Structure 1
Amino acid sequence: MIKSLELYLVTDNNGLEAVDFYKEVFDAEVVSCTTFGQAIPDTPEENKNLVLNANLNIGGIRLQLSDNGSGHPYVQGMNMTACIQLDDAEEAKAIFQKMEKEAQRIDMPMQETPWSPAYGIVVDKFGMTWQINTEIEGFVSETVTF
């Protein structure tokens, strides 16, 4: 049995900014955030402030994050996608609204769907694709728009 899913996001060398952003969006606790410079004494100067690993606690769910680094090409869209499950439509809408402020694009505006009273897909300012989904037991949609 799967107890939880851990999300791991790779950013385009703006990991410290991403940690702050996700902390605010999800009201997360930053459990740890280590840069290459803190962990590896002889790190090249250009990599010292890049995130080696960050661990955020979002209501008991662990989100990990790291920078891509200078040695590897960053491939947007291959860095992660995630579905955030909520049990409150208003909270789902609030998270979506925070993310869409500087979003690269909205793939699906927040709306009612056959499976959710509040569902949307947003590609945030870091290129992360997020599905925001409200899962309420017994929900039956009366209207559907796509």
Structure 2
Amino acid sequence: MKIAVFPGSFDPITKGHKDIVTRALPLFDKIIIAIGVNNQKQYLYTLDQRVQWLKKVFEGEEKVTVDHFEGLTAHYCNRINAGYLIRGLRNAADFDYEKTISQLNNIVGHDLETVFFISRPQYSHISSTIVREIIKGEGDASPFIPQEITL
């Protein structure tokens, strides 16, 4: 069984995240959207809220499950027998960063493979960080988040 993990904070989930999962579905038997929890990081939304949003966005998609973890992503993948990581690339800077992380994950994760998805042009400018700033500034974030989500 080909199990892939799409890790992230999803604080909040964006249309770009949803698009990557949708595009990855035909390649894997199971995709686990895994929220990484870092107790040193300040989140805008609670873990429970982010889990509920992800479940709502992918409701009815039997190949997608939602989970959360602490610690290294590669260790989490090993625990759940996932052989693949899914990552999105918006630009060259993302590629440079993600390439290094994927090489380390391959070693730490015992041949864990990273599959990269290039962002579609209409989503390449969207990041959770930018969406959070719009929300904090009391702007309208609805163009950037899935329609299933209400803030």
Give the TM-score of the pair, scaled to structure 2. Answer: 0.28
Larger radius of gyration: 1
- Greater fraction strand: 1
The structure, 1 or 2, with the larger RCO (C-alpha pairs under 8 Å, 6+ apart) is 2
Give the TM-score of the pair, scaled to structure 1. Answer: 0.29
- Greater fraction helix: 2
